[in-house]
């Protein structure tokens, strides 16, 4: 019995050493790990060149639950205040952490875990907040074209994209 206990103790020490080594490699950010780098960005931040791409200026479909200001639904990311982006990034970082805890993780069609999308969305919102704080005049006027998202009376999203059917 003592040999079996010694073997278990050896395994537990090895596991504890591995966990401790992993914790020591984590960047310090108030005890909460930051999203890992993704293929679209490097490190914890996206540079301004990413924000200049058309896909980066998304239309807001839903406000973060903790957002207490004026609804930004229907606006593009460039039209939202930095505080909204901070709240949005916090939501996606929370989703990212929850995704890391899933076992097995939810997978996209391409086989990659969904939490990678959440990490990227958090980085995108943080990049917009940084840009808008650095240059408050950079906020674009709301578009008057038919690409603007609108909420109809039934609280569903409607986009008039010019499709004739």
Mind listing the pLDDT tens digit for each residue in 130-159?
999 988 776 654 444 444 445 544 445 555
The burial class, CB within 10 Å (0-12 / 13-18 / 19+), for 55 is: exposed
Residue 110: give the domain boundaries: 34-158
Does residue 46 fall inside a structural domain? Answer: yes
In the predicted model, what is the mean pLDDT of the chain? 75
How many structural domains is the chain composed of? 1
Does residue 5 fall inside a structural domain? Answer: no
Does residue 18 fall inside a structural domain? Answer: no
- What is the share, in percent, of the chain residues with pLDDT greater than 70? 67
Give, rounded to a whole angstrom, the gap between the first and last alpha carbons of the chain: 76
Q: What is the pLDDT of residue 143?
A: 47
Given pLDDT bands bounded at 50, 70 and 90, which one contains residue 34?
Answer: very low
Given pLDDT bands bounded at 50, 70 and 90, which one contains residue 41?
Answer: very low
Does residue 45 fall inside a structural domain? Answer: yes
Does residue 12 fall inside a structural domain? Answer: no
For 59-96, write each residue's pLDDT tens digit.
999 999 999 999 999 999 999 999 999 999 999 998 88
Does residue 113 fall inside a structural domain? Answer: yes
**Does a cis peptide bond (omega within 30 degrees of 0) precede residue 104?**
yes
Does residue 8 fall inside a structural domain? Answer: no
pTM above 0.95, yes or no: no
């Amino acid at each position: 019995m003592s040999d079996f206990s010694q073997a278990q103790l050896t395994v537990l020490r090895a596991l504890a050493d591995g966990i401790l080594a992993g914790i020591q490699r984590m960047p310090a950010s108030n005890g909460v790990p930051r999203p890992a780098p993704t293929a679209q960005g490097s490190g914890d931040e996206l540079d301004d060149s990413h924000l200049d791409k058309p896909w980066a200026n998304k239309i807001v479909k839903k406000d973060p639950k903790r957002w207490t200001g004026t609804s930004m639904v229907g606006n593009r990311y460039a039209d939202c205040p930095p505080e909204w982006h901070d709240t949005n990034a916090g939501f996606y970082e929370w989703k990212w952490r929850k995704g890391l805890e899933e076992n097995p993780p939810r997978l996209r069609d391409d086989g990659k875990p969904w939490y990678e999308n959440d990490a990227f969305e958090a980085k995108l919102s943080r990049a917009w907040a940084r840009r808008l704080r650095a240059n408050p005049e950079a906020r674009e006027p709301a578009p008057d074209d038919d690409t603007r998202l609108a909420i109809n009376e039934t609280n569903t999203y409607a986009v008039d994209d010019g499709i004739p059917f």
